[in-house]
Structure 1
């Protein structure tokens, strides 16, 4: 029983070390990518490439040359035996995986395997900024800004930058909160969404976000004040 547990621990350690030592390749959806052998080229008798470490997608032997197996990747795969490189065209999100290369030397005395981790990302569209302004009786505008991209499956990172009248502030995260009061200098708030293959930005002005409310407050004040002014003018004219 103890020996079996020891073998299990050893197997798990071997698997984790393979994943940890896998080379990392990053690509964007629609691009082409090449996964290469990192070892010096030697005379080989057999080469196999695996998707997800276990599903064989390609096999080359000196006698049979190249066989590409039936998968959704088959139409997009080619193989260069000169440098043991597999080429994948028009990569998709589903192509993200750990790929395994296995080779055998010409005399079959030496076996070599290595792992390559491929991560495929979508290029981010222009982020959308959603504003939620609130106002107090003094006209102070409290705004919550939320930044998001259409690619909800993408693990995008967000950062904010505000500039204007000598002010420069930057912060991280999809949500930004700020306060603006009538008479304050206007600031430009820019959200940048980023992932390993792209970045994109959108901007808003603080004054534009709060202008609707301040205009309404001005109209409300005029509605209250103008009748009083007319009444005062009428009273002055009457006394004359």
Structure 2
């Protein structure tokens, strides 16, 4: 049985060669930017000895091509006046990116030994998230207050994280809508909704003075001002 295993081993290696080749020749990562940013798409382990470099916006649309001993050729695309290639490092610099520039970019490298390698970089150009606003719906029954808090952002793909005064809610409760229950013995005095994407985050916070009684924003501001005045007064009394 052991000899049969040794006989099959070379066959398996031959079958796996294309898979291994693809795994080592195609590498990539994700990069994020906001509209108007200048970005650099760079491969950290680019082969030093290469004959040519070609960057693609899509698999069939070239941005720029460089061949050893020849001038760099920039193709007639939307990147023509915004892209610059560093032929030594292979880095593609793009100025003032827009959301339409989001794509999986491809760098094709022809090495001196005639072998080609391909590298992929995913660029996502995203708007900063908008500031959310928590909408509150309360239903009071007996000594219980059922809360429904909504914190939606239109036309943006974001991640929601809800916090109360003791920390964040469990992961399974994180969405644009949060439901909670207040009782006289147990209720949170504050809720914060944080919306985020890979480049930014914003949040909104509401406060409660008692179960089912929401504090007005002016009341919260007045309370904060009062606390500052009280602390300042006490410090002046203690340290004349």
Where does the alignment leave 5 or more consecutive residues of structure 2 unmatched? 1-14, 215-240
Instruction: Compute the RMSD of aligned alpha carbons.
Output: 3.1
Q: Deviations over 1:86-111 (max 9, x none)?
A: 011222222222211123345x7333
TM-score for both structures, normalised by structure 2: 0.66
5 Å-filtered alignment, 1:17-32, equals 21-30=26-35, 31-32=37-38
User: Which secondary structure state, in structure 1, belongs to the residue aligned with residue 100 of structure 2?
Assistant: helix
Q: 1:128 to 1:72 in 2, by over 3 A?
A: farther
Where does the alignment leave 5 or more consecutive residues of structure 1 unmatched? 1-9, 213-240
Aligned to 1:188: 190
5 Å-filtered alignment, 1:1-240, equals 21-30=26-35, 31-37=37-43, 38-44=45-51, 46-105=52-111, 109-136=114-141, 138=142, 140-150=144-154, 152-154=155-157, 156-163=158-165, 167-168=166-167, 170-171=169-170, 172-180=174-182, 187-207=189-209, 210-211=212-213
Aligned to 2:12: none
Aligned to 2:225: none
User: Which secondary structure state, in structure 2, belongs to the residue aligned with residue 74 of structure 1?
Assistant: coil
Q: Which has the larger radius of gyration?
A: 1
Q: 1:209 to 1:121 in 2, by over 3 A?
A: farther
Question: What is the count of residue pairs matched by the alignment?
Answer: 191
Q: 1:208 to 1:147 in 2, by over 3 A?
A: farther
